[in-house]
Amino acid sequence: MRFRALTAAVLATTVTLGLAACGGGSDAAKNPDAPLRVGASPVPHAQILNYVKDELAKDKGLKLEVVEITDYVTPNTSLAEKSLDANYFQHKPYLEKFEADKGVKLQWVGPVHLEPLAAFSRKGVKSLAELGDGAKVAVPNDPTNEARALTLLAQSGVLELKAGTERTATKNDVTKNPKNLQIVELEAAQVPRSLDEVDAAVINGNYALQAGQDLKSALAVEKAEGNPYANGLVTRPELANDERIKKLQELLTSPKVKEYIEKNFKGAVTSATS
Q: pLDDT higher for 20 or 164?
A: 164
What is the percentage of the chain residues whose pLDDT exceeds 90?
79
CA dist list (Å): 19 to 13, 42, 263? 10, 16, 32
Number of domains in the chain: 2
How far apart CA 197 and CA 178 sit, in angstroms, is: 22
pLDDT tens sequence across 248-273: 999 999 999 999 999 999 788 999 98
- Please state the rounded mean pLDDT for residues 156-162: 97
**Which of 221, 239, 257 represents a domain boundary (last residue)?**
221
The separation between CA 151 and the C-alpha centre of its own chain, rounded to angstroms, equals 17
Q: Where are the beta strands (DSSP E) in the chain?
A: 36-40, 64-68, 86-91, 107-114, 118-120, 136-140, 160-161, 174-176, 182-186, 200-203, 220-221, 231-235, 270-271
Cross-strand pairs, 202: 119
Hey, CA dihedral for 242, 246, 251, 252, is it positive or negative?
A: positive
pLDDT for 17 beyond 80:
no
SS3 107: strand
Amino acid identity at 216: K
- Residue 164 φ then ψ, to 5°: 85, 5
Structure confidence at residue 19 (pLDDT)? 54
- Tell me: do 99 and 157 sit in the same domain: no
pLDDT at 14: 39
- Do residues 188 and 211 both lie within one domain? yes
- Going across the sheet that includes 64-68, the strands are 64-68, 36-40, 86-91, 231-235, 107-114, 270-271
Residues 62 and 195 in one domain: no
Q: Do 109 and 122 lie in a common domain?
A: no
Q: Which among 221, 237, 252 is the end of a domain?
A: 221
CA 264 to chain centre: 18
Of 138, 140, 139, 53, residue with least CA distance to 88? 53
CATH number, domain containing residue 199: 3.40.190.10
Same domain, yes or no, for 93 and 7? Answer: yes
* Claim: this prediction has a pTM higher than 0.85: no
Distance (Å, whole) CA 40 – CA 44: 9
Do residues 33 and 110 share a domain? yes
Domain shared by 13 and 85, yes or no: yes
Average pLDDT over residues 232-253: 97
* Same domain flag for 37 and 163: no
Residue 23 has a pLDDT of 41
Residues 124 and 203 in one domain: yes
Q: What is the predicted pLDDT for the residue at 10?
A: 37
User: What's 270's DSSP letter?
Assistant: E
Question: Which domain does 148 fall in, by range?
Answer: 118-221
**6 and 74 belong to one structural domain:** yes
What DSSP assignment string belongs to 152-186?
HHHHTTS-EE-TT-TTT--GGGEEE-TT--EEEEE
My answer on whether 109 and 240 are in the same domain is: yes
Each residue of 70-101: pLDDT tens digit?
A: 999 999 999 999 999 999 999 999 999 999 99
Q: Are residues 110 and 124 in the same domain?
A: no
